[in-house]
Chains A and B, each alone.
Chain A
Amino acid sequence: MAKIKLLIVDDEAELVYPMSERLEIRGFEVEAVTNWSDALKLFDDSRFDLAIVDVKLPGLSGVELMKMIFQLQPDIKVILMSGHGSEEEARDCKAKGACELLIKPVKMNSLVNKILKIIDSGDESEA
């Protein structure tokens, strides 16, 4: 069975690399970048099952990046991450197309469960 392919975008390099390693240990295939332009370039020759994107990125918000990613790969699932998200922000992110808004620090078990649930529900809706 093919591995679930994830993209992580956060400008904190020291955050994305250990997070990637932990997700790889749990069987995911992970690409991690620290800015929005590198993230978009990856879609030239890659497809992802799910992207995990920080809401506050230099130069472009995570929500704006999510919209650009949807143009490049409409079927991708997106989880947004925020430092201090409110319920209102979570509703707003979901209304714009995100599957979830996670608050950092992220609990790994919770993140993995959410990824699997989102991917599973996507598979069901395509069946």
Chain B
Amino acid sequence: MNPKPKYFDDDCAGKLAFMGKISSSVTHELNNVFSIINEYAGVIEDKIYAAMNGAEFDVDKVMVYKEKIVEQISRGKKLNKNLNGFSHNADDAEIEFELTSAMENFVALTKRTASLKEISLEFAAYHTEVFMKGDLFSFEKRLFAAMTYLLEFAPAGSAMKIIAENKNVPCVTIASKFAGAEFEDIKSGIENLSGGLLENVSQNAEPDSIYVQLKFQD
């Protein structure tokens, strides 16, 4: 694995590094949104100039381009809302939140981190309306550390799932594939960085799958 990322640490610098990692990823994606809007606005401008010079003005095509701009504005607003919600998680050491919507937001914000490794990140909720109180930001930081650690072993093209559940205690499971390393080695790596939140690491019946369950600390 590459040198240990700063956001694996639990100190203040580690938390800042986690915040930086998420915000740099989302702002990169927001920049893509602006770039797409820029290109579609440019195509519309090109079509208008062409029509002014005698070419046929294809209204239907221009309406499609306009719709693409509207889609990107909606995408950008959602990204902005997700990042704003995430940033407020750090307001207090203890906040009230609902687990499934918090994890859905977490997956939306970290999808790009996974996709750069050619892994598709998916969200699932086995239970809903799991209302909680606690240090969500620190939990998400540990979850992100575990997730990025597992991404190092996940084969390109595979899927990783983040599952919110409330069986005995509220917890989140990362279900992933792995290759190129032994299960026990990955398990000990996860144990070192989960800071006491680790509920369970298992393989179940599938030899190339790993399930890492993190629980909330009261």
Is this pair of chains taken from one and the same complex?
yes
Instruction: Report A's interface with B, CB cutoff 8 A.
Output: 11-12, 14-15, 18-19, 21-22, 25, 56-59, 83-84, 104-106, 108
Number of A-B residue pairs with CB-CB distance less than 8 Å in the complex they form: 60
User: In the complex, what distance in Å separates the CA atom of A19 from the CA atom of B46?
Assistant: 12
Contact assessment for B116 and A105 in the assembled complex, using a CB-CB cutoff below 8 Å: no
Q: What are 5 contact pairs spanning A and B, CB under 8 A?
A: A11-B115, A15-B32, A21-B46, A105-B35, A106-B38
- Tell me whether chain B's interface is mostly helix, strand or loop, or mixed: helix
User: In the complex, what distance in Å separates the CA atom of A11 from the CA atom of B65?
Assistant: 19
Contact assessment for A18 and B118 in the assembled complex, using a CB-CB cutoff below 8 Å: no
Shortest beta-carbon distance, A94 to chain B, in Å?
22
Contact assessment for A12 and B32 in the assembled complex, using a CB-CB cutoff below 8 Å: yes
User: In the complex, what distance in Å separates the CA atom of A12 from the CA atom of B38?
Assistant: 13
Chain B, residues 39-67, CB within 8 Å of chain A (1/0): the string is 11011001000100000000000000100
Asked if B68 is at the interface of the complex by the 8 Å CB criterion, the answer is yes
Contact assessment for A19 and B118 in the assembled complex, using a CB-CB cutoff below 8 Å: no
Asked if B128 is at the interface of the complex by the 8 Å CB criterion, the answer is no
- Tell me whether chain A's interface is mostly helix, strand or loop, or mixed: loop
Closest A residue to B43 using CB positions:
A18
